Amino acid sequence: MVWNPVPGGGGGSSFGWLSRRRTKHVLVLACVVLAFSIVGIVLIAKIDKSDTAYSLDTTWRRTAPDAKERYVRMIPRVIWQTVKSHEVPKLAYDAGGSWTHLNPTYDRIVLDDSEVLQFVKRFYNETEFDLFKSMPVGVMKADFFRYMVVYIHGGVYADADTINHKSIDEWVDSDCQFVVAPEDNDGFFCQWAFAAIPRHPILKRLVELIFEKLANGPDYSNPHFVHGVTGPAIWTIAIREVLGISPDEKLNPFILTDRAKTLRKDQGICWLTTKELVKALSNLSAHDNPAFVEVGWSNWFAEAGDLRKKLASETSNEE
Ligand SMILES: *[C@@H]1O[C@H](CO)[C@@H](O)[C@H](O)[C@H]1NC(C)=O
Ligand SMILES: *[C@@H]1O[C@H](CO)[C@@H](O)[C@H](O)[C@H]1NC(C)=O
């Protein structure tokens, strides 16, 4: 069988109707258009790699999780962060960029305050949404949100003031289900950076515990209320409870014990020492850094202090 070429396609230049000069002009024009298109595509690709706003439909991931990711790698390739508003100071923008740059196969999703509320409304019920909104300071919402979002979607959470030094695949092994590091002080686990599979039992328990505390009305006059209700204290309680680590066990020594190794092998609990964590990423200690005040959660010491003063003055007025 003979393949028939397009009628009229045989022989002669298709530019035959143009003069040589014109052909040259057309070619130059085509090159210019092509060059602009390439620049345009590169720019769009760049923009696309910066903060991706969270959307509630299921298309928020640039790339659907492929079969390889789902079966070979347990923790999804998503980085979660939260800021007060998407208009962050340059310092925070650059910090965020370090994550995008070192982890090109990951989605980095940054939610601002209103997107955080949309997320909670979508995935939790009305009572829970009201409890979430009842938290009096932004840092508590930022704390609670990180557990809720990683519980629902899985992935890596890192504070918006952290700088990534080592790509995530270097410190989150493909068989890990939960990744955590103790703080230097041995008493608490860090919650400014961690990773987990969706629906991990530790996060399930933690979210439950925090809702319970909020429903019972936390004591906001306690100077450590943020730490206790949503911060490292409750985070550590949930981890100890679910994994059966006794409250007096010192954490940095614990993660080197045989029991910790068994948890690693059997349950995919991946321990990082404080030193390993700090080598993988560091934070800019936002609450001490004026350039971060506008990001919102950075002034939490002040916010919490103001609230305590207000409560104290209300109490003294009643007397
Ligand atoms: C909301 O969800 C919690 C936890 O699943 C449940 O205990 C509670 O009854 C639910 N409340 C409403 C109003 O659906
Ligand atoms: C930030 O890094 C310092 C030093 O590694 C650490 O002590 C601190 O707990 C980290 N976290 C926050 C939220 O600042």
Cα R_g (the chain), whole angstroms? 26
- Nearest ligand, CA 130: 1
- Nearest ligand, CA 204: 1
Q: Which amino acid is at 187?
A: G
What are the pLDDT digits (tens) for 147-199?
Answer: 999 999 999 999 988 999 999 999 999 999 999 999 988 899 999 999 999 99
267: number of CA atoms within 13 Å, CB side? 16
- Å from CA of 128 to ligand 1 middle: 7
Q: What is the mean pLDDT of residues 92-112?
A: 90
Q: For 49-53, 63-67, 87-91, 267-271, which range has the lowest pLDDT when averaged over its residues? A: 49-53
What are the pLDDT digits (tens) for 224-266?
Answer: 898 999 999 999 999 999 999 999 999 999 999 999 999 999 9
- Å from CA of 285 to ligand 2 middle: 6
Pocket perturbation via mutation, ligand 2, pick of 157, 163, 283, 289 by most ligand atoms within 8 A of CB: 283
> Bridge-partner residues for 158, per DSSP?
193
Atom of ligand 1 nearest to the CA of 128: 1
| Pocket of ligand 1, beta carbon within 6 A | 125-128
Which of 152, 76, 75, 70 has its CA nearest to residue 111? 152
Given the structure tokens 């310092």, which residue do they identify? Answer: 91
Q: What is the mean pLDDT of residues 78-101?
A: 87
From residue 225, how far is each of 125, 136, 289 by CA, in Å?
A: 25, 11, 22
Atom of ligand 1 nearest to the CA of 125: 1
Q: Taking the domain 67-304, which CATH number applies?
A: 3.90.550
Complete DSSP assignment for 215-235: HT---TTSTTHHHHHTSHHHH
- Å from CA of 127 to ligand 1 middle: 7
Pocket perturbation via mutation, ligand 1, pick of 120, 121, 125 by most ligand atoms within 8 A of CB: 125
For residue 293, what pLDDT is reported?
Answer: 63
pTM of the model: 0.77
